Structure 1
Amino acid sequence: MRLSEEQWALVAPLVRPPRKQSKMGRTPRPDKQLLEGMLWVLLSGAQWDQLPKAEYPPKSTCYGRFRQWNRRGVFPRLLWRLYTQTGDPRLLALRQAFLAGVFSPAKQQQLRSSRRKKAVASKSWT
């Protein structure tokens, strides 16, 4: 989803002001591009790995900023402001799904207690 200048002006105050650029390290990515990448992933239902490299910043940068904004509570407010300005029902559904999914943990591995123990062969030292 591409943001117009009016939409960006509406949500830009919620995002932290840019840091001063030091002479070391990479130049920071513009927050507008990062937000567009986040919205593309969330509205398309794709995984972060599928973020188009030619159109958006790197997936790790988008995801890292997404996590920062979630921890600070910025992202739900961004979605609400965009929804009230555009009236796009996909943003409201995304906000509701996002808020509902915050409390459900994702199990990626088996519990330790449910793993089968491997048989250990006795060792002879002679």
Structure 2
Amino acid sequence: MRRLILAMSAPEEERGFRLEWSLWRRVHQAVAKRSHAARRALRREGASPPPHHASRQATATVAELRMVAPITDAEWERIRPLLPPQKPPTGRPRRDHRQVLAGMLWVFGTSGSWRDLPEEKFGPWRTVYGRYREWREEGLWERIVEVLRLWR
């Protein structure tokens, strides 16, 4: 409440920023509170973690593989049928799946951040990260990791 009162008494150009920040902070605190409560409840019950942790486990397994090495043609032939069409039914074609996948493997193999991804080699980091999230949510990422685990 104190911050809100201070925000209202601030100069007009600062007021908008402070009010937005205050709103963001309250939302963040609410989400964190729910997450902590859920985690503590799971710990008390001895239950297994929620399903979204499975993708983190798959990501950890990727790091164990030698992912910095480029994708071989044999690996690519095994992975390509799993992927959605390169050109969607409408709109412009997507960035090459093989290039994007190589970027994902580079991030996990080097333990670098998405923002450190060399754009000239793998494309924009936002594209690579967005595709990774999409594939992970669809369950496709785990299948790709499984194929790579068999071949590497």
Q: Does 1:18 pair with 2:86?
A: yes
Which one of 32, 39, 51 corresponds to residue 105 of structure 2?
Answer: 39
Structure 1 counterpart of 2:150: 84
Match of 1:75 among 115, 133, 141: 141
Q: What amino acid maps onto 2:76 in structure 1?
A: W
Of 75, 79, 82, 1:7 maps to 75
Equivalent residue, structure 1, for 2:120: 54
The gaps in structure 1 that reach 5 residues or longer are: 87-126
Cα distance in 1 for partners of 2:89, 2:127 equals 17
Cα 1:54/1:18, change in 2 over 3 Å:
closer
Structure 1 window deviating more from structure 2 (32-41 vs 8-17): it is 8-17
What is the alpha-carbon root mean square deviation over aligned residues? Answer: 1.6
Q: Identical aligned pairs, as a percentage?
A: 30
AA aligned to 1:80 is E
* Equivalent position amino acid for 1:15 in 2: L
Q: Output one character per residue of 1:13-43: Cα deviation in whole Å (capped at 9) or x when no partner.
A: 1111223576x65x42110000000000011
Distance 1:20 1:54 in 2: 24
Give the match's secondary structure for 1:54. Answer: helix
Tell me the secondary structure at the aligned position of residue 33 of structure 1. Answer: helix
Question: Structure 2 length normalisation: TM-score?
Answer: 0.51
Higher percent of residues as helix: 2
Per the normalisation by structure 1, the TM-score is 0.61
**Which sections of structure 2, spanning at least 5 residues, go unmatched?**
1-67
Deviation beyond 4 Å, 4+ runs, structure 1: none
What is the count of residue pairs matched by the alignment? 84
Query: 1:7 is aligned with what amino acid?
Result: E
